[in-house]
Structure 1
Amino acid sequence: MHNLPNFVHIHFGKSPDELGDIEKRVLAKAHERKIISTDINAALKAESTSGERLADSIARVGGSWSFILAFLAFLVFWCIVNTVVLLTRAFDPYPFIFLNLVLSMLAAIQAPIIMMSQNRQAERDRFEAAKDYEVNLKAELEVLSLHQKIDMHVLTEIAALREEIARLHQKIPD
């Protein structure tokens, strides 16, 4: 990449000043012959707050089969205790108004936490897509660079062959 403005214009179709941050970063990495880090977990973990990590954990647990089955077992237990076991002195008799209140509060708290976690997952997906773009762009630049080197090598060999043929033609008498 000796002639950077020409290289940028040929491969990106614009001047170096018109390049975006991603393209500049990829060009710098390609020029330095360094890899582009794709450790998404470390990058996102460094930027996340404790509340975001907590929301991810709650969403991970709340969306698991173990939670669903355990909560179903709790609901069955609640109904059995309040209808059969404590038939005369149930603290939440049928139609289980207190249980409905608890479920409503749980849903009111759990829904925004799950939405927060989904937003973070969407952010993670966007970040991952951007990293994929960077890696693909760098790979394409490296392939183009290899093509250019091979083309230059082939042209050098052709020029050397032409010189050899011209020299041989000069030695052969007519």
Structure 2
Amino acid sequence: EQANPTLGQRVADKVATFGGSWTFIISFGVFLILWISLNVVWLANKGFDPFPFILLNLILSCIAAMQAPVIMMSQNRQEEKDRERSKQDYMVNLKSELEIRMLHEKIDHLIIHQQNELLNIQQIQVEMIEDIRKQIQQGTK
């Protein structure tokens, strides 16, 4: 993630955040209702922008023309952030995988060492049993 975004990037993020909020939707809806009400009802359709509201259409078109590229710029920045986050996740996962492999090797080494130890103990036990058997046989004679 970029530590110091440019002024344009910060503006694009703020506009996209505001443009995609309920605050914007509600306030814009109120603005449209007020505009239409003012020009149709209160000014008896002789207001500064009578029906079919050409000035309002121009304003809406300008807002849409400006808002779309700004939102796209903000989405591009978000994609960059997501891409960087994915790279970091990949590196963490790779490191974890290497550590797990190392742990597997250590465990395998311990298992092999313990098997050898157990075989030695078993050999000693077999020899002890043989000694006991011989002593029993000598004692019964």
Q: TM-score range by the shorter chain?
A: 0.7 to 0.9
**Matches for 1:3-152 after TM superposition, within 5 Å:** 44-87=1-44, 89-152=46-109
Percent identity of paired positions between Structure 1 and Structure 2: 47
Q: Which has the larger radius of gyration?
A: 2
The answer to whether the 8 A contact 2:39-2:45 is kept is no
Does the C-alpha gap of structure 1 residues 138 and 84 become closer, same or farther in structure 2, counting only changes over 3 Å? same
Does the C-alpha gap of structure 1 residues 152 and 69 become closer, same or farther in structure 2, counting only changes over 3 Å? same
Q: Which amino acid aligns with 1:156?
A: H
Does the C-alpha gap of structure 1 residues 88 and 104 become closer, same or farther in structure 2, counting only changes over 3 Å? closer
The answer to whether the 8 A contact 2:39-2:48 is kept is yes
Which 5+ residue runs of structure 1 have no aligned equivalent? 1-43
1:160 to 113, 117, 125: 117
Deviation at 1:72, TM superposition (A): 0.9
- TM-score computed with the length of structure 2 as normaliser: 0.81
Q: Which consecutive aligned stretches of 4+ in structure 1 deviate over 6 angstroms post-superposition?
A: none
Equivalence for 1:30: none
Q: How many residues in Structure 1 have an aligned counterpart in Structure 2?
A: 131
The answer to whether the 8 A contact 2:49-2:56 is kept is yes
Q: Distance in 2 between matches of 1:50 and 1:155?
A: 62
Which 5+ residue runs of structure 2 have no aligned equivalent? 135-141
Alpha-carbon displacement from aligned partner over 1:76-117 (angstroms, at most 9, x marks no partner): 100111112122651111111111111111111111000111
- TM-score computed with the length of structure 1 as normaliser: 0.67
Q: Which amino acid aligns with 1:61?
A: F
Q: Distance in 2 between matches of 1:105 and 1:58?
A: 15
Q: Distance in 2 between matches of 1:134 and 1:86?
A: 65
